[in-house]
Structure 1
Amino acid sequence: MSDFGFELEPNTRPASDDARAGILADPGFGRYFTDHMAHVRWTQDGGWHDRVVRPYAPLQLDPATAVLHYAQEIFEGIKAYRHADGSVWAFRPEKNAERFRNSARRLALPELDTETFVNSLKALVSRDVDWVPTPRSAADESSLYLRPFMIASEPFLGVRPSTEVDYFVIASPAAAYFRGGVQPVSIWLSSAYTRAAPGGTGAAKCGGNYAASLAAQKEAVAHDCDQVAFLDAVEHRWVEELGGMNLFFVFRDGRIVTPALTGTILEGVTRDSVLQLARDAGYETEERPISIEEWRETAASGELTEVFACGTAAVITPVGVLCSDNERIVCSPENGGEAGLTLRTRLLDLQYGRSADHRGWLTRLA
């Protein structure tokens, strides 16, 4: 038995030191994967069992496997950060575990307890610790991206919850999400598509939500925009979120506003952290509905001074312009904005161990 309650099946053909070093020199994002993966099995009769860290390898699935036909699947995104002393830490993984359970409940999947979730990260990272990049400077945002996911693995054709489920964690060394550094992104306002509807899966982190956003993202790219913003599905006027990030609005009087969670917006761990860090920095924060009309009018009047988006992968990224078929709204200064960049620095300093962790947000993985 290895540490953290997981058996170990070592990879007998791991990447060589030279191959790994070459990857870590230019990892990109989501292109390369470490030598191992964590795996836990669930069955209706046996519950969770067979905890193991085993070689990273393709999965063998029956063509009738439920996830392939009914999309019963959820996932999470977490980063592991190497600190200056060589230790490796995760940022608020318990919050990811909580959201993972909420997503499982919505997708009729079994709920995984926090201890097993966090231990799966520890078991994998401690085994593949050499894959965690060492930042070369404070500007180097490299990390090890962790992707826990759960799939319905019973082979059957029929619309009901699967009686067999597999949970995995894979890991991928990652550079900064946007290769050009912190530059304001352009956003396309989708009028033809909505991301989520009341009673749907908008608050769950499941693949179907992202698949449904891809047509709108293609539309954004066709209009030379980096990301897409969605409005609500009922009135088509309330700002919700981007395809993969939450939105924040900064006003001249120091208020920072983000759309309230309504069941159609993903409850981001970074979003929650930004709200708390903003209050620490002296900003007044609000979680409330914000309409596209308010966005448009306050940007025109100068009352809105900056807009930024946040998420695990992209951290905090300024929004430069919002575009649609008939307008172009300037949202932030060319260099971003003071509030967003200040909070970005505070968040990264905490994650990389350059500032004190007064809230106990960091969990050591290796």
Structure 2
Amino acid sequence: MSHIVVVGAGQAGASLVAKLRNEGFDGEITLIGEETAPPYQRPPLSKAYLLGDMELERLYLRPESFYADQNISLRLGAHVSAIDPAAKTLTVDGETLAYDQLALTTGSTPRRLPAAIGGALDGVYVVRGLSDVDAMEPEFGEGKRVLIIGGGYIGLEAAAVAAKKGLNVTLVEMADRILQRVASPETSDYFRALHTAHGVNILEGTGLTRLIGDTRVTGAELSDGTILEIDFALVGVGIAPATALAEAAGLTLDNGIMTDAHGRTSDAHIWAAGDCASFPYRDGRIRLESVPNAIDQAEIVAQNMLGKAVEYTAKPWFWSDQYDVKLQIAGLNTGYDRVVTRKGEKDGAVSFWYYGGQTLLAVDAANDPRAYMIGKRLIEAGKSPAPELVADPATELKALMSA
């Protein structure tokens, strides 16, 4: 009987094993995860779960009984230390496990501050897993002073939760503006105003020199010489693909585990999906850090492990929840040279449309689901309405589809 092993029990791993059974695979499946919790959603961790608005069980992607019911061996709290592609085995907590096909859905790991500048002090947290959020939750007391390092979406979402819980929040961003790497100045301006209105002190163009403290963080020295007194710190300076296992096994890396359009790595019997995998996209390669990509790519890989030979065509979309604002992003804005702002029908709704020349590349829609849906459909259909039409409030959104 064929044995498929999946290493990484996150969104991609859980989607992959479910799809294998859905496609009729009746062989042996083993899903291995380092965490002790069954596969769960990550996006609500730093928002609804940290706020206390979501119970632990509601985080789970499926009831734990699902895996037993589907005859999937779920090995939690297990560490894979090595893969031997020649022997088609892997080492799990000292035990040798044989596979016929292997999928790596190892996800990503948060970048941490160096110990030399205080990154190892108590009271310094990253937002990634359930244990991270459980550890920091007691810190979120009203009136506490938190320093958030990094003005990307992770940092801003954490700032929103902290502000809603009544903390004194300072956020530092080394770049000239928040969201500089991922969004337009217009989107940055929107979210800066939102956070400022909620009392968050945002310091842009300001780096962290060091965190201060003997064993626990008590303060921070900023690049402009300012000394802050703080109760704890949250680090949101990005994530890196978890590729150590693949690299040690000799698989080819390229900003993640390199796969072909089917999700197959440089080894014929090993596949990869989710945050850890880079794949062909348009004229180059890309790695996407998003839940939709993890699900879609994993399901394609599951089909291809069963011989379907389906190419993965990414349709990038993302979201971010901050306060009462839901930001929905369609497409990728890489290479944009113009941003068109369109006011939505409801108060506070706005969308930012990214163009490269006359080509629509992406849409950031804040509390404007209709603009997001129309923008997404246009991008996926390869249609680009004239920027002037988009900017004109008299233009009906639906009319853009036929423009």
Fold-level match, TM-score > 0.5? no
Tell me the TM-score normalised to structure 1 length.
0.29
Structure number with bigger Rg:
2
Tell me the TM-score normalised to structure 2 length.
0.27
